Chains A and B, each alone.
Chain A
Amino acid sequence: MIVRGKAVRLKQSDGINTDYIISGRYKFAISDPKELAKHVFEDIDPDFARNLKPGDILVAGKNFGMGSSREQAPVSLKAAGIKAIVAQSFARIFYRNSFNIGLALVECDTKDLTAGDELEIDFEKAVLSNKTKSKNIKITKLPQMLLDFLKYDGAVAYLKTKGK
């Protein structure tokens, strides 16, 4: 599986929590992912959602997705058009939630990735290519089950296909 897109970055790099991804004051009142998508990162970067383009790849630092178990966090990022998230590390509940809904996460060194870089992620080969800077970065290889979740666009569709 290969994902291509342009890197986008937030003003803040480390410790992006799920409250920052989608605030509690929206996630409880709104259930339409497209509506939620308009409010992602509103409290820390109010213009970010407006400037996102479908297919963008979000790049961040350490412990992305820390905090609450709200699945609305990856759901609203996916609905905002984000194709994959590349970070130094992820919080565990967010990690599971993202693959469960078919949003690709990539763990690798993100220091040298800048906004606007054209990225290509090859999940089978476990390599992220920065086309703009002609540089390859090794990424953490995914177990087959998580790759399958991505292929089927989420755990539910995967389980249904497998008849479990």
Chain B
Amino acid sequence: MAGQTIAEKILSRHAGKAVKAGDVAVCKIDFCLGQDGTSGLIIDAFEKIGKPAVFDKKKFCMIIDHSSPAPNQGTATVHKKMRAFAAKYGVKIYDVGEGICHQLSMEEGHVGPGDLVIGADSHTCTYGALNALSTGVGSTDLAIGLATGENWFKVPETIKIIVKGKLPKGVYSKDIILHIAKDMGADGCTYKSIEFTGPVIDALSVDARFTISNMAVELGAKCGIMNADEKTFKWLKRKCKAVFADKDAKYIDIREYDVSRLEPQVAKPHSVDTAVNAEVLKDTRIGQGFIGTCTNGRLEDMEVAAKILKGKKIDSRVKLIIGPASKRIYMGMLKKGLIEIFINAGAVVLNPGCGPCVGTHQGILADNEVCISTANRNFKGRMGNPSGFIYLSSPATVAASALAGKITDPRKYL
């Protein structure tokens, strides 16, 4: 039999037979989750299926993160429905203030190398950085998984992306993935698995790797998987068996990116695959900056931003919003004095959650307002107003831009 990619291996193990790209297989699921934007429909579908219990209480959780705390009556009703479901079926719920689903799934030890995970949120692909095959699904798919412990999967073809060279100072994993997205396009990897590999990926911290896997879906991919190494095991605080691709695995495309000369990148409205060097946009005035989300709301991101903002004041015309991805990160920021730095610089620090990224609350844009954000999406209307403009960048670029009042290459502040 021909060699297998990581996706083929993980799906084969969960199907109980060898499968290859193009096959459709029914696979057992190791973990699944829903958030407050999708759980209402999960609950409806699960109850329609009519099973008396979930397949495994320990293999599912719900998270209230997208609109947290509830900004309106409709959302409050969904939150209440989720709490009632969790109590009735004895499943875990992470309530208001705990953090973003993807950060919690990983921090709380629900997922690890070799796992097959589905989540009713498109950025479930984030755990690919932990060597899991994790992918976003809709509410009905999730409910089927929750009721039966399995679902059908089309085994994806794999694109291998090798990142090599040496990442320059002031350039981060966000800049790498924005650059790749620009090159491959928002549908460049539709239905494919991506294997991110190479010396630059190996050299990144685990937090920085999450940023890249998180955005695999922005290229249309089903998942964005990385190898597990000592850093992964240290991050997880446990040793696990990693899954590697075979040497003779079949790839439908192999791309190489040398990032040695990469500059800080900024994606322009209203699409993620539009990155240019930050310098090109240096005359773009901003009204808002946002550092947070499942892409870049981690402690390391906060440290990078705080280093730039320490002892300085943001431009008086800018609102800077900081949203830690979890309570643990929030506490880490407190301990390290970062929250004080942010507040002294004139920023607003939110409770852990998705914050303004999905446009429901905590930072909706005004007409024609420009925001530079560390999120993964800049679709028209994404931050609650179709007349707003969203640029995407690394936390460093957002912090530097907030100081200058316009889009700014962060390297002059480092």
Contact of B136 among A19, A28, A93, A159 (CB under 8 A): A93
Q: Is the CB of B384 within 8 A of A25?
A: yes
The answer to whether the Cβ of B13 comes within 8 Å of any Cβ in the partner chain is: no
Interface membership of A97, Cβ < 8 A: yes
Would you call A155 and B140 a contact (CB within 8 A)? yes
Give the distance to chain B from A48, nearest Cβ to Cβ, in Å.
Answer: 13
Which residues of chain A have C-beta atoms less than 8 A from B358's C-beta? 24, 28
Chain B: residues with Cβ within 8 Å of the partner, total of: 52
Stretch at the interface among B105-113, B185-193, B243-251, B328-336: B185-193
- Asked if residues B137 and A93 are in contact (CB atoms below 8 Å), the reply is yes
Q: Which of A67, A69, A96 contacts B379 (CB 8 A)?
A: A67
Q: Which of A70-78, A114-122, A133-141 is the contact stretch?
A: A70-78
Q: Could you give, for residues 84-97 of chain A, a 1 whenever the CB lies within 8 Å of some chain B CB and a 0 otherwise?
A: 00000101110011
CB–CB B380/A44 < 8 A: yes
Contacts of A30 in B (CB 8 A): 74
- B121–A69 touching, CB < 8 Å: yes
B36, B222, B358 — which one has the most chain A CB atoms within 10 A of its CB? Answer: B358
A67, A72, A97 — most chain B CB neighbours (10 Å)? A67
Q: Which residues of B contact A93 (CB under 8 A)?
A: 122, 136-138, 217
Provide the residues of chain A in CB contact with B136, threshold 8 Å: 69, 93
Task: Pick the contact of B360: A24, A91, A155 (CB < 8 A).
Answer: A24
B298 part of interface (Cβ distance < 8 Å): no
Which of chain B's residues 67-102 have a Cβ closer than 8 Å to chain A?
67, 72-75, 77-78
Alpha-carbon separation in the docked complex, A35 to B50 (Å): 26
Q: Which of B29-71 contact A (CB under 8 A)?
A: 36-38, 40-41, 45, 48-50, 66-67
**B38 to A71, Cβ gap below 8 A?**
yes
A28→B379 contact, CB < 8 A: no
Asked if B386 is at the interface of the complex by the 8 Å CB criterion, the answer is yes
Residue numbers in A under 8 Å from B78 (CB-CB): 28, 31
A164–chain B nearest beta-carbon distance, Å? 7
Interface size grouping (class) on chain A: 35 or more
A143 and B152 alpha carbons, distance in the complex (Å)? 13
Q: Are B137 and A15 in contact (CB under 8 A)?
A: no
Q: Is A145 an interface residue (CB 8 A)?
A: yes
Closest to A92 in B: B191
The segment from B141-149, B164-172, B338-346 that touches chain A is: B141-149
Partner of B359, one of A20, A24, A156: A24
Nearest residue in A to B386 (C-beta to C-beta)?
Answer: A43
CB-CB under 8 A from A96, the residues of chain B are 137-138, 141
Question: Within the complex, what minimum Cβ distance (angstroms) separates A69 from chain B?
Answer: 4
Q: How far is the CA of A97 from the CA of B151 in the complex (A)?
A: 13
Residues in chain B near residue A71, CB distance under 8 A? 38, 41, 120, 138-140
Known contacts A25-B360, A69-B120; A63/B137 CB under 8 A = no
Contact B49 A156 (CB under 8 A): yes
- Bitwise interface map of B from 200 to 226 toward A, beta carbon under 8 Å scored 1, else 0: 000000000000000001001010000
Mark B residues whose CB is within 8 Å of A.
24, 36-38, 40-41, 45, 48-50, 66-67, 72-75, 77-78, 119-122, 124, 136-141, 143-144, 148, 152, 186-187, 190-191, 217, 220, 222, 271, 358-360, 364, 377, 379-382, 384, 386
* Beyond A29-B75, A160-B49, 5 extra complex contacts between A and B, CB < 8 Å: A15-B187, A25-B364, A29-B74, A92-B222, A156-B140
Residues of A that sit less than 8 Å from B by CB = 15, 17, 19-20, 23-25, 27-31, 42-44, 62-63, 66-72, 74-75, 89, 91-93, 96-97, 100-101, 143, 145, 154-156, 159-160, 164
User: What are 5 pairs between A and B in contact, CB < 8 Å?
Assistant: A25-B359, A91-B220, A92-B191, A92-B220, A93-B138
